[in-house]
Structure 1
């Protein structure tokens, strides 16, 4: 537990050397916020929403949604719950803490394998599966005492929103309703806590990456999320009661390259903790899930771009590249492996 950044970071006045990123892996800018990232009101007319969602998926690979059906009170209460969780005494978190990767509910620090990292990330993460809730919630934290009830309700509502947005994407592509249900068996939450950092220019919250899953929904409380577009890093403005929606590799492949998977990263600040509540939907790597471009999207003028594959094979390749020292080429590296 002594490794958790949240357990010692408030007592240091400089960044420990094993948290200092090499210059090429640091963030150059902390303030540039992109005003062009679409903000989509899900209470508008469906035909308008479908067009906006499809355009955002094609141009950015990320957008924000408001009036999405998850109540503002639920979002606020859940964010407050995680603030309380990460401030609990160490002994109250021992039951879920681990220093090695494992399935199920896990509290860990930095990246996937702390002991194997040459340099660490300035974050702690609580991660656990969510569906079906009755199967997984017994392993969730026992404190705060309302955790299981409150997070259970939150997970259900975000899941509903997620499938609604996937259906909007399917409609925009000309696919049937429910098309993505079969590749959305896994529903996982990861709550990232980024404590204040003495010098945010030296450290990183999370490295640049693309999500390997289908689609991701993020609730954030402070600025820190950036996306990479047109050779530049641009910030995603935290909008009250909004979810950031970003596309993973599987949507890029299933759409036969029509939709973008967005590269993104997490920055730090020196004054306040930042928390992001992240929900992942995608294939379950422990079940045999076959991924291929949708046949409905392949024509003589739009030939198949990617070969078919098993998702667990893809994840193995993704993890092999996850901590490579070539973040800018990692996107091309893994997709080129499957390109026809």
Structure 2
């Protein structure tokens, strides 16, 4: 429990084991400007929404959606409940703190590999599955007392939003109707990241450069900036717009689309004055779901020919590769005749 960054008080310097190497720390790139070229897509405008999403997914791997149908007051209420988790007394957080791999609902600091990682991340995190809801909800935090009802109702709406977006993507890729309405979207994981103020944010990171090993990520920000995306070898900041969700194309969707859509690398930086909380909803396949490039999509871009694999096998390879995309793809390539 003493490891939780949110439990520290009056810290004046960054501990040595939180300082990233010069080549990976944010340094002077800490306060990059907001990118006004990251697409903002109005889901109420069905005129060319599909084309806009596909274009954004091809060029950025990131976009924001507005007029998505989820009321602003529900977004604020859910974010408030998420923040309350990290403000709860130590004895409560201790009951959910990660002390073994069997816990379904976990509070932890840095990452799930804290004991073996070389550098720690400046964040605490709450993580648990949320779909199918009836399978997982009873394992969620009991406090705050509104958590299960509030987050449960919200996660159902997020799952529906994810299905809408994936339907538009399948339409834009000329895939059959309902292509993703099966085990490909059989699970959803909630990951709430809490980034307390850091005395020297240029030395550390809340999250390092990475891609997400899912279909899509739906991210709710709290108004404090910190999300950065790598575009053309340059970091750009994603503005936390009120009543918008950030949509991130996952690595699986890049594989399924044969590279037509890209999964952009991104990271989270901290700041010295404000706590930042974000809630990511990862839409992913069921463990035993078979993943393969869509046969109805033509091969382009010299994308490697990949074998079929179970999602749980992909996750294992993904984390073994430690974010090295080339190494990951090599492990998934189909054997040559």
Q: Which residue of 1 aligns with 2:291?
A: 291
Q: Which residue of 1 aligns with 2:146?
A: 146
Task: After TM superposition, give the deviation of residue 93 of structure 1 in Å.
Answer: 1.8
- Give CA deviations for 1:275-330 in whole Å, capped at 9, x if unaligned: 01000011123xx21111111113699987333222222111111122xxxx6xx1
Segments of 5+ residues of structure 1 without an aligned counterpart are: none
Say how many residue pairs are matched: 330
Q: How does 1:100-115 map to 2 (within 5 A)?
A: 100-115=100-115
Task: After TM superposition, give the deviation of residue 128 of structure 1 in Å.
Answer: 0.6
Q: Which residue of 2 aligns with 1:34?
A: 35
- Cα distance change on mapping 1:34 and 1:299 into 2, 3 Å: closer
- Cα distance change on mapping 1:332 and 1:44 into 2, 3 Å: same
1:98/1:107 contact within 8 Å kept: yes
- Cα distance change on mapping 1:301 and 1:321 into 2, 3 Å: closer
**1:245 equivalenced with 2:247 (yes/no):** yes
1:15/1:197 contact within 8 Å kept: yes
- Give CA deviations for 1:33-63 in whole Å, capped at 9, x if unaligned: 2111100010102x41001000001111110
2:186/2:285 contact within 8 Å kept: yes
Q: How does 1:217-236 map to 2 (within 5 A)?
A: 217-221=218-222, 222-236=224-238
For 2:330, which of 325, 330, 336 is the aligned residue? 336
2:249/2:262 contact within 8 Å kept: yes
- Give CA deviations for 1:50-99 in whole Å, capped at 9, x if unaligned: 01000001111110000101110010011111222111111122221114
The separation in 2 between residues aligned to 1:231 and 1:149, in whole angstroms, is 42
Which of 56-65 and 134-143 deviates more? Answer: 134-143
- Give CA deviations for 1:177-198 in whole Å, capped at 9, x if unaligned: 2211221111110000000000
- Give CA deviations for 1:217-275 in whole Å, capped at 9, x if unaligned: 00112111111121111111111111100011110111111110111111000001100
Q: Which residue of 2 aligns with 1:312?
A: 312
Structure 1 vs Structure 2 CA RMSD: 1.7
Segments of 5+ residues of structure 2 without an aligned counterpart are: none
Q: Which residue of 2 aligns with 1:193?
A: 194
SS at match of 2:202: coil
SS at match of 1:181: coil
1:93/1:141 contact within 8 Å kept: no
Q: Which residue of 1 aligns with 2:207?
A: 206
Task: After TM superposition, give the deviation of residue 103 of structure 1 in Å.
Answer: 4.9
The separation in 2 between residues aligned to 1:39 and 1:54, in whole angstroms, is 13
Which of 80-89 and 35-44 deviates more? Answer: 80-89
For 1:258, which of 234, 257, 260 is the aligned residue? 260
Q: Which residue of 2 aligns with 1:52?
A: 52
1:127/1:190 contact within 8 Å kept: yes
Task: After TM superposition, give the deviation of residue 334 of structure 1 in Å.
Answer: 1.2
The TM-score with structure 1 as length reference comes to: 0.93
2:257/2:293 contact within 8 Å kept: yes
Q: Which residue of 1 aligns with 2:156?
A: 156
The separation in 2 between residues aligned to 1:303 and 1:21, in whole angstroms, is 33
The separation in 2 between residues aligned to 1:310 and 1:213, in whole angstroms, is 13
SS at match of 1:191: strand
2:317/2:331 contact within 8 Å kept: no
The separation in 1 between residues aligned to 2:206 and 2:304, in whole angstroms, is 37
SS at match of 2:131: coil
The TM-score with structure 2 as length reference comes to: 0.94
The separation in 1 between residues aligned to 2:303 and 2:21, in whole angstroms, is 41
Which of 28-37 and 214-223 deviates more? Answer: 28-37
Q: Which residue of 2 aligns with 1:116?
A: 116
- Cα distance change on mapping 1:305 and 1:17 into 2, 3 Å: same
Q: Which residue of 2 aligns with 1:11?
A: 10
**1:174 equivalenced with 2:174 (yes/no):** yes
